[in-house]
A = this chain, B = another copy of it.
Amino acid sequence: MPGLPPNAYALLGLLVFDSNTPDSGGMTGYELKQRADFTLRYYWVSPAMSQIYTELRRLSDEGYVAEVAGDGPTRYRVTPEGAEAVQTWLFEGEVGFPILKHPVALRLLMGRLSTPEHLQGMLTQHLDDLAARRADLQGVRDMLGDDHARRYAALVADWGLAYYDSESSIVADLRERLETMD
């Protein structure tokens, strides 16, 4: 029983969340992808569809999810073993430090090979992207409301919003500093 990759726990977590909602008949791979796009992508990654199906197969082999009988698309539901695996991972796994791959910072690091105008343009683009991302996440946050069952998701969404705000403010400052640098 070696540990699963983080993506597996992320998906398993979505399924646990789903199983706690009343009248749940499980989720299809497709629905999992939508859910991942809706939440996971802001703090983790939204796995490719093919990866979701591959992961569901593995989770099924391990007994952590079970196919729900019925016609139509295959629906998956977390098993008690799966729920326990998530719990164990939550409490015993090494949490670790966030991994950031920041292509804008990476390029700014090599600023000497570029021009101030181009760098400023890049930062401006990044600010636009941040605004768009933030708007998306705000939509998510609004949908979560103050429902008790979703309060942790709301907490994390607020975290993300604060992060985007802070990043925007830092980048705007950087852009100004660039203007007066040469």
* Chain A interface residues (CB < 8 Å from chain B): 6, 9-10, 13, 16-17, 20, 39-40, 42-45, 83, 86-87, 90-91, 95-114, 118, 122, 125-126, 129, 133, 149, 151-153, 155-156, 158-160, 162-163, 166-167, 170-171, 173-174, 177-178, 181
Contacts and interface: CB of A to CB of B under 8 A. Distances in A.
Given A13-B110, A16-B113, A95 B125 contact: yes
Main secondary structure of the interface of A (DSSP, over half): helix
A73 B158 CA distance: 51
A113 B105 CA distance: 36
Given A98-B100, A122-B95, A125-B95, A110 B152 contact: yes
Contacts of A44: 100-102, 105-106
Nearest to A122: B95
5 interchain residue pairs of minimum CB distance: A111-B152, A43-B105, A166-B166, A98-B102, A99-B101
A132 B141 CA distance: 31
A90 B114 contact: yes
A155 B133 contact: no
